[in-house]
Amino acid sequence: MTDPIRILLTDDQALFRAGLRVVLDAQDDMVVVGEASDGAEALERIPELRPDVVLLDMRMAGTDGVETVRQLFSGAVEGPLPRVVVLTTFGLDPAAATAIRLGASGFLLKDTTPPFLFAAVRAVHEGSSVIAPNDLSQLFGADVERAPAPQPREFQTLTDRERIVFGWASRGLSNAEIAAKEFVTESTVKTQISSILGKLALRDRVQLVVYAHDHGLAGTRDDG
């Protein structure tokens, strides 16, 4: 039996944390290992608790979600870093867009259904995202601080095949879907995705979608 997914809840509302704990602990493959009332407390507890996933409220008294993600992925915490899903009360939250750019793996609305929450935690733990490319585009459209950037030089290091895979991945296709489009095996696609992430210095597929959006490269692959 595999170990359960270790979760840290970070929200300044104790009642909300209690509700999340109840539904998450009821899952056989999940366990809430701790709670934090703001980002500073979460950053202190992560080395001790070693969570796999942090559910992080964006707007808290004290250290908010954006600053927590910024510190977490800029070296404030030693050791393996958890995946982060930010929680927002409304969809087009510029703070969520910023958190994703800084390293979060996606966002959920705080009124999401329990089944969707469970699926999101499992997906993030396995290395996937919990946000669709269309949602990313809408989200970043609300991020007024974003400025267009020229196509980076490192993108030129991708092979022709990697650029094709990049295009499909930027549109949110899974490895299986890309493999079907390109008539190759899933393991081949997985290897190509890993190479792309390495060459572009990207952390995961969420960051790939962000990168594609920021540099005008999203959705450039034709279906034919």
Domains of the chain in sequence order: 5-141 (3.40.50.2300), 153-214 (1.10.10.10)
The runs of H, that is alpha helices, within 72-113 are 94-102
> pLDDT band for position 68 (50/70/90)?
very high
Tell me which residue has tokens 């070693």.
50
> pLDDT band for position 222 (50/70/90)?
very low
93 vs 41, more confident: 41
Q: How far is CA 54 from CA 18, 123, 141, 188, in A?
A: 15, 13, 26, 31
Q: Are 33 and 24 in contact (CB under 8 A)?
A: no
Q: What pLDDT, in 10s, does the model give residues 70-85?
A: 999 998 888 889 999 9
Cβ neighbors of 22 (< 8 A, separation 6 or more) are none
Query: Does 223 score more than 50 pLDDT?
Result: no
pTM for this prediction: 0.77
Query: Does 132 score more than 70 pLDDT?
Result: no
Q: What pLDDT is recorded for position 101? A: 85
How far apart are the two ends of the chain, measured CA to CA in Å?
44
Q: What pLDDT, in 10s, does the model give residues 136-166?
A: 666 665 444 444 556 688 998 999 999 999 9
Q: How far is CA 177 from CA 58, 186, 222, 224, in A?
A: 33, 9, 15, 14
Q: Are 61 and 67 in contact (CB under 8 A)?
A: no
Of 69-73, 105-109, 188-192, least confident by mean pLDDT is 105-109
Q: What pLDDT is recorded for position 141? A: 56
Q: What pLDDT is recorded for position 185? A: 94
CA distance 173 to 218: 12
Q: What pLDDT, in 10s, does the model give residues 27-52?
A: 999 999 999 999 999 999 999 999 99
Strands 53-57 and 83-88, sheet pairing: parallel
Looking at every residue in the chain, the average pLDDT score rounds to 86
CA distance 164 to 12: 44
